[in-house]
Structures are given as C-alpha cells and as structure tokens.
A and B are shown apart, each in its own frame.
Chain A
Amino acid sequence: MISDKNNEDKHFVAPYSKEVSFDELQDAPPSGKFRLSITGKLGVIVVAFWLFVAVFGQFLAPYEENDLPFPDDYSEFQKPRAGAWLGTDVDDRDILSRIMYGAGRTIGISLAGVLIAYVIGVTLGIGSSIAGSRIDQILTQFFNIMLAIPTIMFGLVVVAAVGSSIPVLIITAGAIFSPVVFRLSRALGMEIMVMDFVEAAKVRGEGYRWIIFKEIWPNAAMPLISDFGLRFIYVILFVSSLSFLGLGVQPPLADWGSMVRENLGALQYGESVIPILAPAIAIASLTVAINLIVDDVSAHAGGKLSGRL
C-alpha cells in the first residue's frame, strides 16, 4: 500500500467504501462562545467590588463622610490605626469612609455622563448613517467642531459660566464625550448599511424602525458595548481631573478626584502617603479593571474596534 502510494507513475485510487457519501464540506468551523480570560475575570471581580461599594458604601462606612474619628486627638494625615484603617486626611476625617462615600459619587456621575453621551451619540450617529447626505453633513460637521475643543478647557468654561454642581458635571461630561460616540456609531452604521442583508430588508419593504432595530443594532451592539467600557474610563478620568482642579465635586463632599487634591499636602508634611495613595489607587484599579474586560470583549468582536476609533 505504502509503496503504491509513493510511486508517482502509478495511478493511485484511495480505498473507499460504497456507503461513504461525499457531503458538502463545512467551510468554517463555528466560532467559539464568548469566554473571559483570567485577566478578564479579575477585571469583573474588581469592577463588581467597586460597584458594590458605590451602591452600599455609604451605609457600611464606619463614619459619616465628614465625621472625625478621633475628635480628641486632632492631627492631620494620621497613620492607619484602630478606628481608622487607612488613616485620616487633611481635616483628620476617616479616609476609608470618604473613599466609600466617594465611590458612589465618582462612579455615579461618570456612569450618568457616559449614558448621556451614548444616548446622544448612538441615536444621532446611527440616524445620521441612514438619513440623507444633507442631515449627515450637518451633524458630522457639528460634532467635528465639538471634537476640536479640548475637553478640560470646555469643562473649565462651562463650570466658570454656570458654577459647579453634580447635574452640571453630568451634562458636561455627556456633551463632551458624545462626539466620539457619534463618530463610532455613524461609522458602524454606514458599514452595516451597505451589507446585502440590509438591502434585502429594504427590498422586502421594511420600514426604518425594523432596519435600525433588527438589522443594524444587533450587529453594532458588540463593538458599541466594548467602546462603552472605554468611554466610561475616560469620563471617570475627566470627572476626577475636574475635581482635582477644584471644579468638580465641591467640598466637603467626598469624591476620589478631589480627595487626591485635598490631600496633596500629605506628600510633604504627612506621616503617611496613604491619604493621597488610596483614592489614586481606587481610580486606577477601577479603570484598569474595566480595560481588562473591554480587551476580552473587543477580542471577541474581532479586534477591529481599534481601527474604527
């Protein structure tokens, strides 16, 4: 058998049985189900932890956010000790309690901001990819102008004009980040609009509602969800930056960004650097953890996302 197979000049016919049918070959193995990697799972744990703290932190915190743990022993930037496990801050308040109170504020404001950016961006972006070229032109140019304004500068101007409050912060963040979402969803929408299955739906006579929600949206959802994570990080950093500059959440309310600013002095005069390190680590761990999840999601979506951004 072997020698026969290797002799090039002989006609070779593979052995076969009569029953074997030569069925159509599968040309692609089905792609696997979505699975988180180890780093992705770590990300989920950290994010879940912070979300829990954001919701229940204020009920579980050992002190009110502006209470003094040691009223008889006033001294700024105290080292961690029993009763204040992360030490105290510039006004001798409990760092742990303030982080727990601040979590809700930082995450809540950012989440609300990114949601507003998404509602505006996705609605107008996908709408723009379907609407005629005139509306598309107007919207695109408007958002391009918005994109050209530096984010922090824009925030500074708004806060300077109307003053700082939590609703103003949320709306500003939404306005600042909607152009990027608009561009992404418009690009996605246009890419999907030219696919044959959308044309097939048009030939069938489907209306806009079906085309948007049943044909385009399911195909755009995955990339948009992973971008949502990324955008959330940017908004957290933006809100924290504004707070650090003193324009975000106003004292005495706690928020991670403003905690970093308030406790800057700890670097120079403090007994420990924990007052400044703790809120910084909180911001970093949350953003990195979201990033780890986004990596997994966008790898599953085909890794094309970075090209579109």
Chain B
Amino acid sequence: MNKKVVFEAKNLCINAVRDDGSELPIVKDINFQVREGEVVALIGESGSGKTTIALSSLGYCKPGLKISNGQTTLFNQDLTTMNIEELRQIRGEKVAYLAQSAIATFNPALKINEQVTESAVIHGSKTQIEANEFAKGLYHSLDLPNPEHIGERYPHQVSGGQLQRLMAAMALCGEPSLLVLDEPTTALDVTTQIEVLKAFKKVIRERGAAAIYVTHDLAVVAQIADRIVVLYSGDIQEKGSANEVISKPRHPYTKRLMQAVRPLPAAGKKTKANKTDKVIQIKGVSAGYGGDVMSKPKEVILKDINLELSRGEVLGVIGESGSGKSTLARVIAGLLPSFKGEILLDGEKLKPRLEDRPRSELRKIQFVYQMADTAINPKQTIGNILGRPLEFYLNIYGNKQKERVLELLDMVELPKEFYTRYPHELSGGQKQRINLARALAAEPEVLLCDEVTSALDSIVGANVIDLLRGLRKNLGVSFVFISHDLSTVSAFADSIAVMYKGIIAETGSVHKVLSPPSHPYTDLLISSVPELRVGWLEDADKNIQKAKTLLEKEYII
C-alpha cells in the first residue's frame, strides 16, 4: 500500500466562534489520509462534524467556523495557508464538491451542459468543444438516458436521480484528483438511490479518482467505500478498512450505528391485532388536487383506494415520492376531501371535509408530521403545546393539565424540565417526541404518522421506532405508518399497503407482502433495500433489473 497520498488532514481542529467571541470545538484533532483511487467514507450523525471536515478539503470553512489548529494538505500543499486566488485555482480543477441537493445546485435558467462544462472551461484545462465531448463520455459512464442530447435540456426537464448524476458529471468534468461527495443519495428514493450509487461507483473506479464520501448511512457506505472513518461529536471513534469496520466493529458507537440499520425481518411475524374490530375502513376513495376537489379535481392522485385498519393494528403504507401515500393520510385526516368513496371510523361515516367533522371525531384521528421543526410552534412552550389538546378535546385545565403534560413527557421519555422550554432548545429527536406526545395527548384511536423518522439520524430514528412500539403495546392505539423506507415499515407494522402511482399495488400482512410471489413493484422495493455487507450492490443489481423490466411491461411507463 504505497500509493500516493492525495489528501491528508493533520491534527485538524475546527472551532465555532460564538457571538460573544468564545470558541466551541466542532472538530477535534482529526488525522486521516485519502490515497489515489481510494474512497474514504466519513460517517456520523448530524452534528458529528463530518461535513465540516469534508469542506476543509476544499480549503473552506462555513461562516462562523475557523481552523484553530493543524492543517489539511492536497498533494502536500497546505490548504489552510492559501489565499482565495490560490484556492480558486485548486477548486474544480484538483478537488470538486458534490452537494446533497442537485436541485439546489443547478441554476434553473441555464442548460445542463453549460453548467457541467463551465468549471473545466474557466480553468482552461479544456476548450468548450473538448469539454462537451468529455461530458458526453461522462453521461455514458453514468448510464444517463440519451447521453448525446441530455446536456441540451434544462434542469427541470430531468428527474431528481438523473440530476444527481449530472451533478457528478459536473464535478468530474474538470478531472479532479479528489471528489468530495456530501450525502449525495440521501434525498433520493430507494430505487433511485441504487442507480445513482451504481453510477457513482462505476465512474469513480473508471476515472481512478480519490473520493471522500460523507454520509450517515452505513449500508450505503458498505457499497462504495474502501475505508471508513467513524465520527462522533467531532472525534474519530474508529478508522479502518470498510470490510473490517462493517464485519467486525470494535467501538461501541460503531456497534450502535450498525444496530440502527435494520435488516428486513424474517417472514413469519405474528400479529396481535383483533381482525374483526375495524377502526378505519376506506372504501373506494378517490381524491385529487386542483379545480373542484369535491367533485372533479383536475389532477386525480388517489384512485379507488380500499383499505382496512383493525383496532391496535399498525398498517404500514409504503411507496416512493409521488405515489400518493401522504395524500392518503391527508384524505383520512380530512385536509383533502375525497370526491368519491367513503371513510368509516368505528363504523360511522366520516365527513370528507375537516370543517364538517365534530370535535369528538377529530380527537380520534391525530396527525403526526414529518418535520418536527415546522410542526410545532416555535413561540409556544412545550407545556402549552402539549396542554392545548388536553383543554381543547378533554376539558382538562390548570394543575390537572400540568400533571397530565408531565405524564406525557414521561411517556415519550423526556425529562420534566422540558415543560417550560421552547422548541428551539430541543434537538431534532426530542422535537419529534414532542410532536408525538401532542398527538397522544388527544387520546386518539388512530395515529397517522407521515414519515416520522425520515428526517432523523439513524440512531435517533431507531429510538423513536422503539418508543412507538412501546406506546402501541401500552396504549392500544392503531397506526397508519407512512414511509418510503421498507425496512423501517416492516420492522414496526403488522400489515403493509404498497402504493404505486396512486393505487394500492399490494396489501396484506408483512409476512405475505415480503414473501414471494409479490407484485413486481414490491419486488423492486424489496431488492432495493441496502444490506449491510460489502458487495451487496452487485448482487442486488440483477434482481432490480428483473423487477424493473416486469414493472415496465405491466404499467408501460
């Protein structure tokens, strides 16, 4: 192993400077190297400093941060002492950055090709014509459809997954020696994620570029990294070859991260739900947006949905973005009235519109939002947020209300001191628990959970799922649990409904849905769930392609 060192961080310390001038260490004495043709993964949760370290390889610190000690070198040149002009020469030419969101990176007013070739042409390493040819080569390697002409389109004319790959082309066009990828697949659907991951892997191997891959997702890392650096709170916890870290994690934190990645459960899970006592019955419901939503919407999103939810049951609804799964929750909650079909709650017909439903019915169905940051009012104390449903639905006031709120805090495993706090004083996971507690305060029969864990880090998300499982056991609430993540859903749900383009593609118990034969779309989803082992990507690819061809035949996309 005597390959040339491309990038090295030596005793790197980065501090955040507070308003009053005091400093808070964010990155603490980090040492690691990236050598030629090697992919090094920085893995950790939000707040672990992984992005800050990755950005330091471009000689960049976010505003409010400063490198307080140590250095970062690119081919033995010290990046920390360079001025802006020298850094400009290096960025795009020697080191390129791929951000999380391609949609935010591309300028919507310029054609894709202009943006992909821009940096190579500006640095003078290629003429426009050479750069165009080179870009076309990249589009081929990245398996983009219609590689000869895709560059002539505007960013909004290609899909999210394609744009993500085009961003990789943008970064690679200047033929950099080091590529920095910051969570490049996190915002994508599982099936798209696989395609992008495959393309990245191929192109990195082909071009022999070194790369720093930043992510929180161990399963993704296992597919693409040669070596792994595990970070917690700005400190390296474990560092070693990908194979060794994943198959034999030694540090307790690495072990915890591994536990948070759930494999698909083995078939044969028992369900405790009482199948005869239906809480919610959805019969032939169709709904859509635009125009007159009550009779004839312009765009129909849900088509003839039939579903049932038994008392105490967890129904997992799974599908990709645009499949209509969130719309389904909005229809049940009454936020979007259906124009056809009916929804029964405890055997009684629910009015389609929220405004027409009596308070007692509203109480029984509670909605838990995905983003706790926006779902709770930043100007109300936790005590007020949780107290309101109590007085609104149950007429509980004063000391009794406070007692009950403290009970609720206890139920979601938060300390009593939070009663007087404001939401901005809480972490993401804690806010999500408040979000849950507010729904529970109403003593509902059904909780509609819309992607409640997808904005959270893996460990935090796993903790929330554990909490939900405990609550379900103790309270006997039924859940409609919506997620794009099959492994999360199957770990928690009793039955699953697979949604695809506004219809229910398949429904049944977890066991039934997960075991073959299933709908080709379910197959596609199942084979797209990353497994925590090196080499899975190659094995899975065959199944994925097979499922895709089947799906295309059936639905003629």
Contacts and interface: CB of A to CB of B under 8 A. Distances in A.
A32 B21 CA distance: 13
Nearest to B450: A196
Chain A contact residues: helix, strand, loop or mixed = loop
A30 B379 contact: no
A12 B239 contact: yes
Interface in A275-308: none
Interface stretch (A49-57, A109-117, A153-161, A203-211): A203-211
A27 B44 CA distance: 13
Chain B contact residues: helix, strand, loop or mixed = mixed
Contact of A200 (B235, B241, B256, B369): B369
B389 A204 contact: yes
A214 B389 CA distance: 13
A14 B31 CA distance: 12
Contacts of B1: 9
B460 A24 contact: yes
B362 A28 contact: no
A22 B239 contact: no
A30 B425 contact: yes
Contacts of B454: none
- Count class of interface residues, chain B: 35 or more
B514 interface: no
B428 interface: yes
Given A16-B252, A204-B389, A31 B424 contact: yes
Contacts, number: 114
Given A30-B425, A31-B424, A24 B239 contact: no
Interface stretch (B45-53, B125-133, B319-327): B45-53
Interface in A182-233: 195-197, 199-200, 202-206, 214-215, 218-219
Contacts of A22: 232, 252-253, 256, 459
Contact of B367 (A10, A28, A200): A200
19 contacts: A8-B33, A8-B227, A9-B1, A10-B240, A11-B240, A11-B245, A11-B250, A12-B236, A14-B238, A16-B253, A20-B252, A25-B232, A196-B369, A197-B377, A199-B369, A200-B367, A203-B366, A205-B357, A215-B377
Given A14-B237, A200-B438, A203-B354, 12 more contacts: A22-B256, A25-B45, A25-B48, A26-B47, A195-B374, A197-B374, A202-B354, A204-B392, A204-B393, A205-B354, A214-B380, A218-B379
Interface of B: 1, 19, 24, 31-33, 35, 45-48, 227, 232-233, 235-241, 244-245, 250-253, 256, 333-335, 354, 357, 359, 362, 366-367, 369, 371, 374-380, 388-389, 392-393, 424-425, 427-430, 438, 442, 457, 459-460, 463
Interface of A: 5-6, 8-14, 16, 20, 22, 24-32, 195-197, 199-200, 202-206, 214-215, 218-219
